[in-house]
Amino acid sequence: MREKTYHLWIENIAIGVPIIETSVVDKDGLSQIYQYLKEYHTVAFVGSSGVGKSSLINHILGTDQLETGDLRNDDKGRHTTTHRELFMISGKGMVIDTPGMRELGMWSAEDGIDHTFLDIEELTRKCRFSDCSHENETGCAVRQAVKNGLIAEERYRAYMKLKAENAYNKNAVDYLAAKKRKFKQIAKLNKHNYKQ
């Protein structure tokens, strides 16, 4: 029952994203992964340490080429991969094994966010104010949809978090570009003054 609830929770957050539950131990869901392994394509497995990325790649390769660790006492995996590595899969492209990630960052992800959260993006156009922050304004169509149960609270929070991170990154890039322009102007002025 817990697994079904977890699966539904993920579906509510990641609408339209294929969800495949896999287990190398139980051999569940492994055949579904093969649809993503195609000649001339590269697939990367990313995720937290110890979730089974290397075990999954070992299964795909049909070897025990990658070192894996036993489960800890709390049934979580152990961190074993320390570097990225690319593997060829005969007739099925390539797969990248990556070390466990503590944090993922974004770079210019506006299009991806808009696509992933298309339902919320469409609602933003129905907000009373065009500059609605979707936090506590009256007439916010997004918050109303959350209140009415049309959008899961977790999905709304994920959307807001990604939007904020993307805006922060965009501001940082704009700031650095402005600084670069300023330094070029100063260098040009110094060069001009030096010539005179």
Query: Which domains are delineated in the chain?
Result: 2-97 (no CATH), 110-195 (1.10.40.50)
pLDDT, one tens digit per residue, over 35-71 is 888 888 888 877 777 777 778 888 888 776 655 555 4
Distance of CA 65 to the CA centre of its chain: 27
What is the Cα–Cα distance from 50 to 71, expressed in whole angstroms?
8
pTM: 0.44
Distance of CA 59 to the CA centre of its chain: 24
Half-sphere exposure of 81 (CA within 13 A, CB side): 27
What is the Cα–Cα distance from 196 to 16, expressed in whole angstroms?
64
pLDDT, one tens digit per residue, over 4-32 is 676 777 777 777 778 888 888 888 888 88
Three-class DSSP category at 179: helix
Three-class DSSP category at 45: strand
79 pLDDT more than 50: no
- pLDDT mean across residues, the chain: 75
